[in-house]
Every structure is written in C-alpha cells, then in structure tokens.
Amino acid sequence: MKAMISATARYLPEKIITNADLEKIVDTNDEWIRTRTGISERRMVAPGQATADMGTRAVQKILDKTGISPDEIDIIILATITPDLPFPATAALIQNNLGAKNAWGFDLSGACTGFLYALEAGAKFVESGKYSKVIVIGADTMSAILNYEDRNTCILFGDGAGAVLLEPSEDDSGIIDAKLHIDGNGAQFLYMPAGGSLKPTSHETVANKEHYVIQDGQAVFKVAAKGMADVSLEILERNNFSGSDVKLFIPHQANKRIIDVSARRCGFTEEQVVLNIGKYGNTTGATIPIGIDESVENGRLVKGDLLLLAAFGAGYTWGSTLIRW
C-alpha cells in the first residue's frame, strides 16, 4: 500500500520584508541579494505569532477544504527547527489549537530537509496500515533566530508554513521512493551555538549573540549544490526515470543558483522547476510544502504527474522524494 498526498495548504504571514527594508538595517543592496540568491522579499510573523500558529493555520485550511474533522487526524508530524518552546513539542500546541483529540504526534528536526524526513516518516505510518490520516507540516519562524546585524544570514530567510494530508492511496498515485541522508560533519558550517544542553542560555551566550543562525555560506553552497543535484539524479535513475519524465521539480528554496545546478544536472527546463524563493526567501522546513500547495492551486501539478522533491540543509541533511501525483 502506498501513501498519497490527498490535500495541501500553506500559510504565509502578511508582513513583507523587502530587500529595500533590509538595506536600511544592514550594509546590503537589492541588486546583490537578487543576483546572489534570487530573493526579492520574505515574510515575517506578527508580534506574538510563531511556528504553532502558522502550522495550525495551514492545517486548518486542509480541514476546511476537505471537510475532515479534527478528531479524524491520527498523527501530526511537524518538521521545524524553530519550535515555539524547547518543550513540549510544537506538534502538541498545534494538536490543541486544532482540537485533534485522537491524534498523537511529534516534532522532527531536519532543518531544510525536515519536510522530506517528515514526509517519509508519515508515509511509513500510512503504509503500515495502522494509520489513515497523517498530517505532515513544515513550518519555521526563522526571524526568531536571525541576527539582523549579520548581512550574511539575515537576508536569506523568511517565515512560513506548509502542510499536507497523507492518506492510503487507492490507485497508482502516491509516494514512490525517498532517498535521505544525514552527515554531522556539516554541523560546524550551519548551526546555532547556544540554547541547547551543550551550552545552555546564559547572560554570556546572549551577550555573544550565540542564539542566532551561524553559517559559512560558501562552504554550505558548494555541498548543497552538489548534494541536491546528486540525490535528485540518483532517485530518478534508481526508479528508471529521466529528467524528461518529471512534470515538476520542487526543490528546497535556499538559493536560486543552487536550484539551477540541480535543474541543469537533471536536464530540467524552466517550466519543470518551481521557483518561489523570490517571494518568500528560505523558509527552511516550509519551502517544499508551500511550493507543492502553490503548484496544485495554479494547476501546474495535476493527477498522474511525476513530482520530484529535493532538499539540502543544516546537519548536513539532504534528500529527494519521488511522487506520482
């Protein structure tokens, strides 16, 4: 039995931060940001709003669209690196907001690949035959962990959420394969130094600005471009497909130039590649489900299409998922 994505939704906060807005707070400019990353603007949560709120709104849209009641949800899996609280799980807060009284769930930390990890986990629960309605969310409030004095990182990220419903497939559609990786050798190049059990929050960690994203952009760029391209090709080849079989490629949106490398390696045309980084920046766990939902909404993705997802992120984590829509 295969698991299929039977419904999708997204939530983006209303507030838009343009490149011009960032020019006012760090030494950067619109031209540099657009040509180096492809980003023109990104979204930011309202005061008091965070990951649980965005995730809840995305799932609520799925319930509204499908008419499914909250008590039918079996599991809520949330991919995030920006939980509302260190504990309990933000999935619990979302469960409570929704009133999903028969669900269990958990948070999963896979950074930019988090949604693909969560999708694989969710698919296996459905394939087991024990669960039939699994909600998979990718949501991140990156503005909470960005140093708006660091032009290397604050221009890259945005806030947002996307969600999908997984159900048993009754035909050929569904998740065909996933190839996922993790390699902690990359931890030193993209991380948050403090606030965990190794270096708990103290006056010193706050004064040293250790509660923000630290990134060696060039180091990450090189491995991300190669990693995402390699794994995308590998999953196509091992399932006997080539680039021309794919209707849509929805890659993680970290940098347009990284996406271009994967698209070239797989031989994709512009029409095959979903690109929304210009509007939202890198929303970490949320980029892929946002891209899926937009593609469904605008008719780029229809039943029977072959869909390829790919991501690369902190960890390092990376992977690719192949779906018959």
Residues that bind ligand COA (CB under 6 A): 28, 32-33, 36-37, 112, 151-152, 155, 190, 215, 217-218, 220-221, 224, 254-255, 258, 282, 312-313
Please, what is the minimum distance in Å from the beta carbon of residue 51 to ligand COA? 18
Residue 152 or residue 205: which is nearer to ligand COA going by CB? 152
Residue 181 catalytic? no
Residue 252 catalytic? yes
Residue 147 catalytic? no
Assess contact for 123 and 3: CB atoms under 8 A.
yes
Among the listed residues 19, 255, 276, 282, the single catalytic one is 282
Among the listed residues 154, 252, 255, 276, the single catalytic one is 252
Residue 39 or residue 126: which is nearer to ligand COA going by CB? 39
Residue 76 or residue 277: which is nearer to ligand COA going by CB? 277
Residue 135 or residue 224: which is nearer to ligand COA going by CB? 224
Please, what is the minimum distance in Å from the beta carbon of residue 218 to ligand COA? 5
Assess contact for 289 and 140: CB atoms under 8 A.
no
Please, what is the minimum distance in Å from the beta carbon of residue 191 to ligand COA? 11
Assess contact for 66 and 9: CB atoms under 8 A.
no
Please, what is the minimum distance in Å from the beta carbon of residue 275 to ligand COA? 14
For 266-284, give one letter per residue: b (16+ CB within 10 A) or e.
bebeeebbbbbbebbbbbb
Alpha-helix runs per DSSP H in the chain: 19-23, 30-37, 51-66, 90-98, 114-127, 151-154, 203-207, 217-238, 256-266, 277-280, 287-297
- Residues whose CB falls within 8 Å of the CB of residue 290, separated by 6 or more in sequence, listed in order: 10, 12, 138, 160, 161, 162, 276, 280, 283
310 - beta bridge partners?
A: 251, 320
Residue nearest to ligand COA (CB): 217
| Catalytic center residues | 112, 252, 282
